[in-house]
Amino acid sequence: MKTNAGRFFEDYRLGETIAHAVPRTVSGGERALYHTLYPARHALYSSDEFARACGLPAAPVDDLVAFHLVFGKTVPDISLNAVANLGYAEGRWLKPVFPGDTLRSESTVIGLKENSNGKSGVVYVRTRGLNQRDEAVLEYVRWVMVRKRDEAAPAPEAVVPPFAKSVAASDLAIPAGLDFTGYDFTLAGEPHRWDDYAVGEQIDHVDGVTIEESEHMLATRLWQNTAKVHFDATNRPDGKRLIYGGHVISMARALSFNGLANAQMIVALNAGAHANPCFAGDTVRAWSEVLDKAETSAPGVGALRLRLVAVKHGTEPFRLKGEDGKYLPGVLLDLDYWAVVPR
Amino acid sequence: MKTNAGRFFEDYRLGETIAHAVPRTVSGGERALYHTLYPARHALYSSDEFARACGLPAAPVDDLVAFHLVFGKTVPDISLNAVANLGYAEGRWLKPVFPGDTLRSESTVIGLKENSNGKSGVVYVRTRGLNQRDEAVLEYVRWVMVRKRDEAAPAPEAVVPPFAKSVAASDLAIPAGLDFTGYDFTLAGEPHRWDDYAVGEQIDHVDGVTIEESEHMLATRLWQNTAKVHFDATNRPDGKRLIYGGHVISMARALSFNGLANAQMIVALNAGAHANPCFAGDTVRAWSEVLDKAETSAPGVGALRLRLVAVKHGTEPFRLKGEDGKYLPGVLLDLDYWAVVPR
Amino acid sequence: MKTNAGRFFEDYRLGETIAHAVPRTVSGGERALYHTLYPARHALYSSDEFARACGLPAAPVDDLVAFHLVFGKTVPDISLNAVANLGYAEGRWLKPVFPGDTLRSESTVIGLKENSNGKSGVVYVRTRGLNQRDEAVLEYVRWVMVRKRDEAAPAPEAVVPPFAKSVAASDLAIPAGLDFTGYDFTLAGEPHRWDDYAVGEQIDHVDGVTIEESEHMLATRLWQNTAKVHFDATNRPDGKRLIYGGHVISMARALSFNGLANAQMIVALNAGAHANPCFAGDTVRAWSEVLDKAETSAPGVGALRLRLVAVKHGTEPFRLKGEDGKYLPGVLLDLDYWAVVPR
């Protein structure tokens, strides 16, 4: 059998590190495509000149480009037989990625817990994205529920790794050289600075984008994510293609420009839930809530901890869960991240 | 309120200059995407070698890429609350844009006239696109009808700026170094030179392209044009997404290659009307008429003033308006521009 | 008449060479778009670092990018009035194409044979793709059935050129410097080397992709292929757009990664048939068969001759033709090529 059937739950060993295949060099092409697939307008990723004025050598590719590329490589090894993508934690962007950089990924298994039904189990991995100089550009923890190949296979000792509920402000990796003291708010698109945001503040980002089959497939392929549920309409009885959760993340983040234009760089991913599946024809909207604020040691640079929620059209903003404690059916994404903002 | 509600008619002041947000660096990515979104084949934009043989340092990005990028930046400040895009005038491309250049836009309010109904008014702006050296690469006048926020707001003194009916041939900015004396007609795709075109001549460009939702959204996002009517199927009662008029301009211009392959560079936009809305499913065709001819001082370079008309399939070429003087329902675009052509 | 009506059968002369129009410079944009349009994962085209470790100066653009670009240029001169694309032979990739290269095409008419019905004839051309240094990067023979403009035009003397049934292993052009002795199978994605493949072995590539209208049009335009059947829904009575056969080739080749991840570079095209038309909504799957094996003189580099078959969902793998000797209705593509593989 020459094809990859993917790993099943009993194939993972605690502590092993899996080197994922297919390194990828990024160029201006990926940058342009990101602007084509999402209504992305954060100036630091759009303009080399703006990025230089902020102390960087050029505009990096969007932080989510780095995330999707690193994540996509893990799919054949981690989630080909996954039943569900359960969560993210302790995500940190460690270095910006620039056109010309080559990324690869590796994941260490940090936890394993078989489900009581004996049919599947939860795999916890810490994934790192590395550039061509073997520098880590990104790391995050992710856990997924994976089927067993053989239900009779013995359960491993259950290990559930402890996670920080969110990345501590003191652990945020601010890109070397980043300096917002000369930040141009006019070119960035909004006047709101760190001081203008209050913990608890909620922002409805107003705009919506209706999702098309070809667009989510173009995006998902761009990250070399091969999960067949996204591409093959014959895969589900209802003929629907499930949209890659990362497509919704990028769409919501891009929509959040309207109200958070100065939340320039994502520096940490504290938590994330793909609350409900998204399908073509859905119109995606987004709202945010300020969860926390922190200072940083970089000149003029503050940090905001933000909840970013994507909903389908028809679901009111600022509501997440029903009385049963479950996400409302129209909620697609509940993401908790840190971004840097000019002070 | 952190989000941008857009400006209303009473928010504009005669003579003010608005600096538009989100500068953009272009790369080979934008060039490749333009060839992906439109059947664009003009050799000067397709081949660095061909461009060098014409005296340029490399192939610029298509003139319409520059136009769309400059235009897109103006949308949040000029046309977010626009009822209608009424016209263009005095458009001139002043410098080619090359991969690596960073563009930004600014607009000066040059006219204001409230409508007699007191609910809206016409705003006239002169928009300039500037590169990273603060050189103007493009300028044009555009006027739009914008709603009033408060119908009781007093009307400003009516000022309607005078426009030239078309850019004078002597005002065309021919790119520095452009030289068509060694022009390769075989590589360019057609043998027709400036002398072969006669004023009054009409050309049916034959080919048609059926428009898809995802394609016009990809294109419109690429220019960071945020107008929600293009993206949000819930925005209109009929569930249709209005196609950005610039998508039709680029489609028609690309189709015009067949018969005008040597009309290489657009150097002026004299006038333009988006005669009727375009929707996904429409098959776009195009025809042209030679309106004028002019010599230029650049070696081997002549200029043609052309009418470019986009129609929906089913509308015969060479007919624009009905007996009532209104555009026929199948006419999408009526554009009047100058292009440079080898002599 | 300024527009191109295309050539008809009686317009071709044996021995003439046609220089095709519109040279094209490729960049990282084309590379990124290829990864967006197809689930392409071969590491040599994805990573500059991986390509360097294999002795190349950087990652070339996919061999099929070169093929499609060279092919696309021939359409206005060769196949605008074609009734059918009949076959390929003697295709050889002679030099990799890198971002920054500019490609043009030319075709020599090597055979002509009028059909007995007097309405059409078969035109045989040998097409070469040339870079900016006038080096051939690709050559192949193709034959198409072309309509006559005037059925009364006299038939030319029938000349059917002899073809090799497949490119001899000794004629394969292995890229200068290619060295697989340090090949990283982990990064490439599969452990299978040349020795692991046996003549007669068949591989079902498992995955499927459902085809969308916008995606095949984006791809076909990217190669500046202007054939109207691909773009104009009004062109056929059934309102369907015929999908460019090359879109199916690229889709199938990308799907073949799963089982043939190390069949890195395509070096020869022995034969190919677009067995049945493909339309939007079809879900494309692929299977391969090892037809032959050969050693090469390059260090660590072997060659596999492979049959690549694309089928529509619902057609079982490993079956090609029915009892009548005709391709089964669900078979889309039957391609015979040589690829290089680490030993």
**Residue recorded with tokens 């493009």:** B138
Residue contact A218–C37, C-beta within 8 A: yes
pLDDT score, position A83: 86
For residue A81, is pLDDT > 90? no
Q: What is the DSSP letter of C341?
A: E
Return the percentage of chain B with pLDDT > 90, whole number. 95
pLDDT confidence of residue A119: 95
pLDDT at residue number C43: 98
C14 touches C156 (CB < 8 A): yes
Chain B to chain C, count of Cβ pairs less than 8 Å apart?
A: 133
Task: Evaluate if residue A91 carries a pLDDT over 90.
Answer: yes
Quote the DSSP letter at residue A280: T
Which whole number is the average pLDDT over C287-298?
98
Nearest Cα neighbor of B50 from B189, B236, B201, B193 is B189
Q: C82 falls in which pLDDT band (50, 70, 90)?
A: confident
What local confidence, expressed as pLDDT, does residue A228 receive?
86
Task: Say what the pLDDT of residue C277 is.
Answer: 96
Verify whether the Cβ–Cβ distance C210 to A233 is below 8 Å.
yes
pLDDT at A294: 98
Which portions of chain B are predicted below pLDDT 70? none
pLDDT of the residue at A5:
85
Give the confidence band of C5 by pLDDT, cuts at 50, 70, 90: confident
Q: Is the minimum CB–CB distance between A281 and chain C shorter than 8 Å?
A: no
Pairwise CA distance, residues B130 & A23, whole Å: 37
Task: Judge contact between B57 and A58, C-beta under 8 A.
Answer: no
Which residue from B29, B206, B208 is facing C3, i.e. has the nearest CB? B206
The minimum CA-CA distance between B57 and chain C, rounded to whole Å, is 14
Chains with 3+ CB–CB pairs under 8 A to A are: B, C
pLDDT of residue B1: 83
Is the pLDDT at A1 greater than 90, yes or no? no
**Positive or negative torsion for Cα A121, A124, A129, A130:** negative
Q: What sections of chain C are H helices per DSSP?
A: 28-37, 43-46, 48-53, 63-74, 185-188, 213-222, 245-255, 257-260
Q: What is the pTM of this model?
A: 0.97
Whether A233 and chain C come into contact, CB under 8 Å, resolves to yes
CB of A17 less than 8 A from some CB of C: no
* pLDDT tens, residue by residue, C199-217: 999 999 999 999 999 999 9
- Name the B residues in 283-312 with CB < 8 Å from any C CB: 283
What pLDDT does C84 receive? 86
**Is the Cβ pair A27, B27 closer than 8 Å?**
yes
Name the amino acid, one letter, at C34: Y
Q: Is A170 on the interface with C (CB under 8 A)?
A: no
Inform me whether the pLDDT recorded for C228 exceeds 90: no
At C1 the pLDDT is 83
Contact check, Cβ <8 Å, B29/C24: no
pLDDT above 90: residue A28: yes
Is residue C323 over pLDDT 90? yes
Question: How high is the ipTM of this complex?
Answer: 0.96
Query: C29 to chain A, minimum CA–CA distance in Å?
Result: 4
Would you state the pLDDT for residue B5?
A: 85
C156 touches chain A (CB under 8 A): no
Report the pLDDT value the prediction gives residue C83, as an integer from 0 to 100: 86
- Helical residues (DSSP H) of C130-280, grouped into ranges: 185-188, 213-222, 245-255, 257-260
- Considering only the beta carbons, identify the residue of C28, C207, C212 that sits closest to A27: C28
Averaged pLDDT, C129-136: 98
Q: Which residue of A has its CA nearest to C38?
A: A221
A226 → chain C, closest CA residue: C39
* pLDDT, position C121: 97
d(CA A72, CA A80): 11
pLDDT digits (tens, 9 = 90+) for C178-195: 999 999 999 999 999 999
Whether the predicted pLDDT of A253 surpasses 90: yes
Rounded to a whole number of angstroms, the distance from the CA of C285 to the nearest CA of chain B is 24
**C163-168, Cβ contacts within 8 angstroms, sequence gap of 24 or more:** C163/C89, C163/C90, C164/C89, C164/C90, C165/C270, C165/C271, C166/C268, C166/C270, C166/C271, C166/C291, C166/C292, C166/C305, C166/C336, C166/C338, C167/C90, C167/C91, C167/C92, C167/C268, C167/C269, C167/C270, C167/C338
For the segment C249-277, the average pLDDT, to the nearest whole number, is: 98
Q: Using an 8 Å Cβ cutoff, are C124 and C143 in contact?
A: yes
* Residue A62: DSSP 8-state: P
Distance from CA of A218 to the nearest CA of B (A): 10
Which chains does B contact via 3+ CB–CB distances below 8 A?
A, C
